[in-house]
Structure formats: C-alpha cells, structure tokens
Amino acid sequence: MDSSKITIEDIARELNISKTTVSRAISGKGRVSSETRERVRSFIELHHYRPSAIAKSLAQSKTFNIAFTMPGKYGFIDMPFFQKCMWGISSIASESDYDVLLCMMEEGDISSLKRLIHNHKVDGVIIGRTYENDAAERFLLAEKVPFVTVGSSANPDAIQVDNDHYQACKELTSVLLLKGMKQLSLIGGSTKYIVNANRLNGFMDAHRTMGKQYLPELIKTEVDDPAELEAAVEQFVALGSDCIVCMDDFVCNQVLLKLNKMQVQIPKQIRIASFYNSAMLENNRPSITSLQFDAVEAGIRSCEILMRRMDGKKVSSKTWLGYNVKLNESTSVV
C-alpha cells in the first residue's frame, strides 16, 4: 500500500471498521474503545499516515485556514509593511498546520470577507488595517468569528495588536521641537485609517505639551494625489517650514523627490523626518530620521493571539509592541 496515498477509507477497510470510527480515533472525539483506538494508532504509525486537510477538517470541525485582510487599494505605499506582517503570520500559522488566505477589502465593502465566513472557509481572521467605525469588526463580532486586529480599534470588543503610534509620533515630534525647529509641517494620507489619525494626534499633542504652536496651513492630510503632494511641499517651503514630517515612508519618498526637483538641500535648507521607516528609505542620502516598527513581530504576535483565541483561551484585549526613534542626518542642525 502506497503510504503517501492512504485515506481514512483505506484504514477503515484494512481494519474492518467504519470511517466514522477511524475519524473519532484520529481526532480523539467521540466514543471509541481503547483497543480500537490503539489499532488505528498502530496502523497509522506503521504506514506513516498523515491526514489530509479535508480529513482533518471533517474530523475536527475546522478548516485549518485563517484570513488576513488587506485594503484593496493599498498600492505600493503599504507593500513593505504587509509583506513583512504576512511573513510573520505565515510562520506561526504553519506551525499549527494552518494556511493563510488573503482577503482584499475596499473601504466599506466587506463582501469578500462575508463570502469567506458564510462559506465556512476560515476559522479566524487577522484584520490588517483598521478603520473608524470598522464594518469588518462589527460583522465578525456578530458572526462570533475569532479575530485580531493589527492596529488599534475604537471597538472595545476587538482584540488588538499594535505599536503605540500616538506615543511614538509624539516623542519624535517632541525631539524635533527640542532640537530648535519651530515651524514643523506634516503631510500624509487619509485619517479614516486609525493609524494615521493616531499619528496626527501625536504630532499635535507634542506641540500642546511643549507649549508650542503649529500652523494649520502646515498640516496637510487626506493627500492621495501626486500633484496635491507636490503643491503642499511647495507651500511648506514658501512658508519657511523648518522640517517636513511625513506620515509614512511612501509619502516621505515622494517629498524627497519633489525637494530634489526644486533643488532644495536637506538638511541645509529644510529637514525631513518620517513617522514610518522601511527599506524604501534605508539607502537615502542623507539618511532619514524616522520611527522604526517591527512589522514581522506584529504578524507573529497577532497570529499567536488568534491561535489562542480559536482554542478558546483567554487573551489580552490589547498588546502593545515597541518602537525606536532613529535620529539621522536629515534632521541635523547645520
């Protein structure tokens, strides 16, 4: 008998018992005599039987799949983060014989997630990007599907894994102000993403805590068009901004390209900092002052917590991950 092709039906036929009895013996659930269980165990060991995913799902009422949701229009901007986070998730999932299904969702459209849940394709979900008033979270709570968010959530019933973006951005902004920069500008994307809202709040609260004023005209959020970004950079330079603070690495890269076109020297004429660093900025010269977060760790921790939740174990409602403030040449005082 080819051990690589053995099925539950083969075991049942060879031992002259039912397929149901074999499944119960394998799963450890249901009434099966110790003698029969031992016969099945011995046969499995002898023939190196490994239950297929389908057989395991039927025996244990599990799919052995989890979903990782990503925003449909993430584009190049979030690719480094999601790649690293996905690596962390997959490394933990594989240890428990789980596979990871990608689920792309547009803002407000969770039809792809609903399809996975209603078709019983997954046992749990990791939400990769959180929104204000998040429809995916509400749906999963209503369906009683275990889930974990990578990012903070306004929903008190959501299990969350996140870096403290608010505190990190407040700390970096405070450092820039302490270095003598008086007119900081901020540019970034949609504050419907909770991570961006936290970054904005950290920036503004750093000014308030230190008794400093920020100019509303030096804060540009909801920027998703290259022409709009370039116009904002031109305005910041014209208003005499000491330093342009970027909400993430992609925005920072675009700002750097624009300043290069304008022949504005960094840090001699203006300074640059980013609230998120990735490989995109690593080789820039001058080196960029930034916040560093470990996306792989976020994936690992979120998947570990989801696995515990799916096993019915108690988990913390919020898990904070660390960050580093990396001061580099782009904010040097010349």
Per-residue pLDDT of the chain (334 residues; tens, 9 = 90+): 555 566 778 888 888 988 888 877 776 666 788 888 888 888 877 777 666 554 554 455 678 899 999 877 654 455 678 888 999 999 999 988 899 999 988 767 899 999 999 988 899 999 998 887 888 999 999 999 999 999 888 888 999 999 999 999 999 999 999 999 999 999 998 898 888 999 999 999 999 999 999 999 999 999 988 999 999 999 999 999 999 999 998 899 999 999 999 999 999 999 999 999 877 788 889 999 999 999 999 999 999 999 999 999 999 999 999 999 999 999 997 6
* Count of domains for the chain: 3
Looking up residue 90, the CATH number of its domain turns out to be 3.40.50.2300
Helices 19-27 and 53-60: crossing angle in degrees, nearest 10, is 80
Residue 219 φ/ψ, nearest 5 degrees? -120, 115
Task: Tell me if residue 149 falls in helix, strand or coil.
Answer: strand
Tell whether omega for the bond before 51 is within 30 degrees of 0, i.e. cis.
no
Q: What is the pLDDT of residue 2?
A: 53
CA 324 → CA 83, 203, 292, 294, distances in Å? 20, 16, 5, 9
Q: Which residues pair with 246 in a beta bridge?
A: 187, 274
**30 and 86 share one domain:** no
**254, 188 Cβ separation under 8 angstroms:** no
**281 and 315 share one domain:** no
Domain termination residue (choose one: 60, 84, 102): 60
**97 and 115 share one domain:** yes
In the structure encoding, which two tokens stand for residue 88, read together? 């962390």
Domain termination residue (choose one: 21, 42, 60): 60
CA 39 → CA 14, 45, 49, 149, 233, distances in Å? 11, 10, 13, 44, 74
Q: What is the pLDDT of residue 33?
A: 86
Range of the structural domain that residue 41 is part of: 3-60
**283 and 178 share one domain:** yes
**303, 126 Cβ separation under 8 angstroms:** yes
**276 and 176 share one domain:** yes
Residue type, 157: D
**216 and 284 share one domain:** yes
**154 and 251 share one domain:** no
Q: What is the pLDDT of residue 257?
A: 95
Residue spans of alpha helices (H) in 104-248 = 111-118, 135-143, 165-178, 194-209, 226-238
**241 and 93 share one domain:** no
**169 and 158 share one domain:** no
In the structure encoding, which two tokens stand for residue 61, read together? 């009422």
Tokens 């970034």 correspond to: 188
Looking up residue 53, the CATH number of its domain turns out to be 1.10.260.40
Residue spans of alpha helices (H) in 6-78 = 8-15, 19-27, 34-47, 53-60
Q: What is the pLDDT of residue 75?
A: 46
**30 and 98 share one domain:** no
Half-sphere exposure of 291 (CA within 13 A, CB side): 28
Q: Which residues pair with 106 in a beta bridge?
A: 109
**130 and 202 share one domain:** no
**152 and 85 share one domain:** yes
